[in-house]
Chain A
Amino acid sequence: MTNATEAASSQLRKGVVELAILALLHRGEAYGGEIVDRLAEHPGLAISPGTAYPLLSRLRKSGLITSAWRESPVGPPRKYYRLSPDGEQTFVDMARVWNGMKDDMDTLLGTDAPHD
């Protein structure tokens, strides 16, 4: 990938990863390391902790997620994140936007886009 492609795809991923984190937390609460690991299971969505933590901080500041410490079965307590009621609503809205966008993008890209 060239630098320009890299920058553009990171821009593109930023918004998508935000939705991915909301989707993940919609299924249940998770701690920071767990969020990074579970996104890494999907190579297209994999993000570094350096991307994940600022994003979590921003989501928390905008009131979409909340955080609370919980005892861990192994090691020290962990900080868990969950969706707030606002976050649940935003997730539903964003998922709807995404579904519309996904179909439109598929149509727009058509057969021009290489799949690999």
Chain B
Amino acid sequence: MTDRAPIPPGDTPDAAAVIDEYFDRLRTAAAGHGTSIAPDDLAELRAHVDERLHATAHTAADATDALAELGTPEALAQAFADDATAGPQGPDGLVGRVLGMPYDVRPPTSDRLARRVWDPTNPKILVPKVLGLGWTVNFGALAVRTRLVRPDDEDDPFTSAGSRVVAATLAAPVAAAVALGALVAATWTTLPATVPTHWGLNGRPDGFGSPAAAVIAVGVIGVVPVLLAAAVHLRGRHPFARVAASAVSLGLTALAVSIYAQTLFTVRGGSGVWPTWAGVAAFVVLPFGLLVTVSRRGRAAEQRRDLSSSPSKGTAR
């Protein structure tokens, strides 16, 4: 806080300096919450302080007293940030709705991704995407709906399962990516100069490209997410974020395998798009299975901890 140095009465520049410092800290703290306080709100806060100072000598001490009423700038910024996230519109319009569809164009984080794809306390199965327009599946709600888990089974998702289980989840998408790489390596030279890259609902290809373009697309969908998931693991993020990253990348790699398999299938004279449908199913089922498995292991670990120990013991966090 600001020093209450003995200031001669009427020395207004000092009061102004104290107030300016407060508002600078407020703006900095708001930025730290990824938000900014609207100019109207800032003007109103200043007007409030000015009014409080009206009958005083405008010393730095008076300004400090008036500002104390608002709390620390950090606490005030927190309150504004809470208010901003409570409303439908996020900071600076980066989050919101267009034509009834949710959108979010903030840089995605592994924590936010985790909270979207696994929130068993939220009964909504479709939740806003972490990045882009539309919805994504809240596998936690799906698991509660199918009675595989209860909303409060785990105190903190995926943390009780143990670090070995958490680390092992990365093996699933890595294995899928290796399988994808092996499949591409084994078949890529057999592809003709032009391959189908898009299929209509009737199962007939309606878009074509070079094999290289097809392989690059499959790599972007199937390998890049696994590298990102590996980075989340290697950077020692929270188990929640790590398991969610494993699960989401596993789904995307399975989808990439199916897209490539679809290309091979069509090139070799197959008709229909069943490989794609199998991929779409795997895109949902595999992450779901992984997340539910880890969550249930976490629950089992919590139960072992509580049910074997003294029955009156609680766990605080």
A residues near B (Cβ < 8 Å) are 32, 48-50, 53-54, 56-57, 60-61, 63, 66-71, 77, 79, 82, 84
Q: A50-B123, A57-B121 are in contact. Are A77 and B316 (CB under 8 A)?
A: no
- A71 pairs with B152, CB closer than 8 A: no
Residues of A within 8 A of B314 (CB): 66-68, 82, 84
Residues of A within 8 A of B316 (CB): 63, 66, 84
0/1 per residue, B292-317, Cβ < 8 Å to A?
A: 00000000001101110001011111
Residues of A within 8 A of B317 (CB): 60-61, 63, 66
Tell which of B120, B122, B155 touches A67, judged by Cβ atoms closer than 8 Å. B155
Bound-complex Cα distance A68 to B305 (A): 9
Summed over the interface, the residue pairs from A and B with CB atoms below 8 Å come to a total of 54
Q: A68-B313, A79-B152, A79-B153 are in contact. Are A50 and B303 (CB under 8 A)?
A: no
Residues of A within 8 A of B307 (CB): 69-71, 77
Residues of B within 8 A of A56 (CB): 152
Bound-complex Cα distance A49 to B314 (A): 23
B residues near A (Cβ < 8 Å) are 120-124, 150-153, 155, 302-303, 305-307, 311, 313-317
- B123 pairs with A48, CB closer than 8 A: yes
The 6 tightest CB contacts between A and B, nearest first, are A53-B121, A66-B314, A69-B306, A53-B151, A50-B123, A66-B316
- B121 pairs with A50, CB closer than 8 A: yes
Bound-complex Cα distance A4 to B76 (A): 26
Bound-complex Cα distance A53 to B150 (A): 10
Residues of B within 8 A of A48 (CB): 123
**Nearest-neighbor residue (CB-CB) of B311 within chain A:** A70
A selection of 26 A-B contacts at a CB cut-off of 8 Å is A32-B150, A32-B151, A32-B152, A48-B123, A49-B151, A53-B120, A53-B121, A53-B152, A54-B122, A57-B121, A60-B317, A63-B317, A66-B316, A67-B152, A67-B155, A67-B314, A68-B314, A69-B302, A69-B303, A69-B305, A69-B306, A70-B307, A71-B307, A79-B150, A79-B152, A79-B153
